[in-house]
Chains A and B, each alone.
Chain A
Amino acid sequence: MWKRAAFVCVAVAMSAFAQEGHPLTGTFTGDWGPARGPRNHITLVMNWDGTKVAGVINPGPNSAPLNVFVDYTNWTVRLDADTKDDAGKPVRIEADAKLEAMGSPRRSLVGTWRQGGITGDFKVTREQ
């Protein structure tokens, strides 16, 4: 048990090793939800291909392509995707965010999330 704990601790320490390329490349996880409402887990996987940032939201059976638009003058990011809700009904997602802690390996996107007529806040943080 203690070896596992030590392994976890070392893994946490190793996570200080950053990705120093395009700041949005990587896997970001977190959640969104309306104020005082339930939180919903989200995963964004993004990659800079040399001309644009492309990605997917919630990789797996219910994934959807993610469109990403970045304003590099202030590192604001607009995301949108067309996906389906749990009932299989089409739903549009739009989000506006700001990249925070850009120099950190655990940088975050923080902003407003709109999905299926509900508006809330969201925060996703880059995983190692």
Chain B
Amino acid sequence: MKRLPWRLMVAALGVFYLSTQLPAQRSFTTTYDSTRKVTLEGPVTKLDWVNPRAFLFINVRDSSGTVSNWAVEFGNPLELEKSGWKATSLKIGEIVRVEGVLARGEDRQASATSVVLKASGRRLFVPQPTRGAVAATPAPRWPNGHVRLGPPAGSKGYWGAASAKVLVENLATKPAMNDDGLLANLADIDKVAPLQPWARAVYEFRQRTLLKDDPLGRCLPPGGPRQFQMPYGFQFIEQPELGRILVLHGGGNRNWRIIHTDGRPVGAASEAVASYYGTSVGKWEGDTLVVDSVGFNEKFWMTAGGLPHTEALHLVERFSRPNLNTLRYEVTIDDLRAYTRRWNAGWTVQWVPNEELQEFFCEENADPAFNR
């Protein structure tokens, strides 16, 4: 008993650590204010070359002579390495000039739009443009004729960038929004999805508060359609002998989802144990994998931008691969407790050949406060 206060202190520190870990995967919108431009100059004090967001730290002297240390986010290190950049491209002590946008609030943090080495004028960490479209190659197939959702036999690869970053109903006119799902005009809410009044009010609140409560920002999984719009991709592992397909996620928390293909019934949402990825049953209809899912919990946002859902959510997802490089994803959202009717959305996802999913652990590094 005499040691209790010390142990309690350790436990309290643990809680503090956990709480500081939570806001680790905030969106750009939540973290930065694009209207606040900033130019910073000073010597580099530290470089954190850690996936998915690399930071450099510089000492900046203001007009009064006071020196303060700034954290500058400048890109995804694995993407930068593909463009030939390395952690050693910039050395401690070298003076850089950074242009970018400031973080919201009072933190000394910025997101760089350019980093220039003062001594030579050389611009650093410029990513190469994304690869151009590869000539369409037929989708790979298994010996039984089914389309393969993963790499061709003997190859590597995974699914990368989605053509849409936000879940929006398939309508002729899409509302203008950024990649975080923040509407350019709040008057366009009704163009996003057929929301019930309460869900519309919740969505509007999330928009007005700049998506700051997004559970993804606390490293919770990207359940529902959002898992196929994450920046770090995903991969299918087909295991017909086990009657299942695994979906491995590069983003979120590097976790996985199971799609059962053993012929079991779909079940009812009310009978399922509520979870982030739900209970999924898939079957092939020609070259399309049709997946029925129920049993979702209400602890996640199923898309960037903050569309709400309830435990009644039922998804019907259709995966097809018209060619090697393209995955077509279509989803029907069936949640009449949150929406006035069923609605549909869809996008394509680009194949990343000859590469593996990146290592990314949400909690690790995304907030430079951890690294100071």
Task: Give residues in A with beta carbon < 8 Å to B.
Answer: 1-2, 5-6, 9-10, 12-13, 16-23, 25, 48-50, 70, 72-73, 75, 102-104
At the interface, yes or no: B98 with Cβ under 8 Å from chain A? no
Shortest A12–chain B CB gap in Å is 6
Shortest A10–chain B CB gap in Å is 7
**Contact across chains for A9 and B11 when beta carbons are under 8 A apart:** yes
**Contact across chains for A18 and B213 when beta carbons are under 8 A apart:** yes
30 interchain pairs, CB-CB under 8 A: A1-B4, A2-B7, A5-B7, A5-B8, A5-B11, A6-B7, A9-B14, A10-B14, A12-B15, A13-B15, A13-B19, A16-B19, A16-B22, A17-B218, A20-B298, A20-B308, A21-B308, A22-B198, A22-B202, A22-B310, A23-B202, A25-B298, A48-B198, A50-B336, A72-B197, A72-B200, A102-B202, A102-B205, A103-B206, A103-B209
At the interface, yes or no: B58 with Cβ under 8 Å from chain A? no
At the interface, yes or no: B337 with Cβ under 8 Å from chain A? yes
**Contact across chains for B337 and A49 when beta carbons are under 8 A apart:** yes
| Bound form: Cα–Cα A10–B18 in Å | 8
**Contact across chains for B198 and A17 when beta carbons are under 8 A apart:** no
Query: What are the residues of chain A within 8 A of B19 when measuring CB–CB?
Result: 13, 16
Shortest A104–chain B CB gap in Å is 7
| Bound form: Cα–Cα A56–B312 in Å | 21
Query: What are the residues of chain B within 8 A of A19 when measuring CB–CB?
Result: 298-299
Tell which of B205, B220, B311 touches A21, judged by Cβ atoms closer than 8 Å. Answer: B311
| Bound form: Cα–Cα A22–B218 in Å | 20
Query: What are the residues of chain B within 8 A of A49 when measuring CB–CB?
Result: 337
Shortest B314–chain A CB gap in Å is 13
Closest 7 CB pairs of A and B: A21-B298, A2-B7, A103-B213, A50-B337, A72-B201, A6-B11, A13-B18
Of chain B, the residue at the smallest CB distance from A13 is B18
**Contact across chains for B308 and A48 when beta carbons are under 8 A apart:** no
**Contact across chains for B299 and A18 when beta carbons are under 8 A apart:** yes
Q: A-B pairs with CB below 8 Å: how many?
A: 88
| Bound form: Cα–Cα A49–B4 in Å | 46
Shortest A1–chain B CB gap in Å is 6
Query: What are the residues of chain B within 8 A of A72 when measuring CB–CB?
Result: 197-198, 200-201
**Contact across chains for A48 and B310 when beta carbons are under 8 A apart:** yes
**Contact across chains for A2 and B11 when beta carbons are under 8 A apart:** yes
**Overall SS of chain A's interface:** loop
Query: What are the residues of chain A within 8 A of B301 when measuring CB–CB?
Result: 20
Of chain A, the residue at the smallest CB distance from B310 is A21
Query: What are the residues of chain A within 8 A of B46 when measuring CB–CB?
Result: none
Residue among A6, A75, A104 with max Cβ neighbours from chain B (10 Å)? A6
| Bound form: Cα–Cα A103–B200 in Å | 14
- CB contacts under 8 Å to A, within B182-235, are 197-202, 205-206, 209, 212-213, 215, 218, 220
Query: What are the residues of chain B within 8 A of A23 when measuring CB–CB?
Result: 198, 202
Query: What are the residues of chain B within 8 A of A48 when measuring CB–CB?
Result: 198, 310, 337
Tell which of B1, B10, B199, B202 touches A1, judged by Cβ atoms closer than 8 Å. Answer: B1
**Contact across chains for B198 and A10 when beta carbons are under 8 A apart:** no
**Contact across chains for B299 and A17 when beta carbons are under 8 A apart:** yes
Query: What are the residues of chain B within 8 A of A9 when measuring CB–CB?
Result: 11-12, 14-15
**Contact across chains for A103 and B205 when beta carbons are under 8 A apart:** yes
User: A-facing mask of B2-44, CB < 8 A → 1, else 0?
Assistant: 0110011011101100110010000000000000000000000
| Bound form: Cα–Cα A102–B207 in Å | 13
| Bound form: Cα–Cα A23–B196 in Å | 13
At the interface, yes or no: B338 with Cβ under 8 Å from chain A? yes
At the interface, yes or no: B55 with Cβ under 8 Å from chain A? no
**Contact across chains for A70 and B198 when beta carbons are under 8 A apart:** yes
Residue among A9, A23, A25 with max Cβ neighbours from chain B (10 Å)? A9
User: A-facing mask of B134-176, CB < 8 A → 1, else 0?
Assistant: 0000000000000000000000000000000000000000000
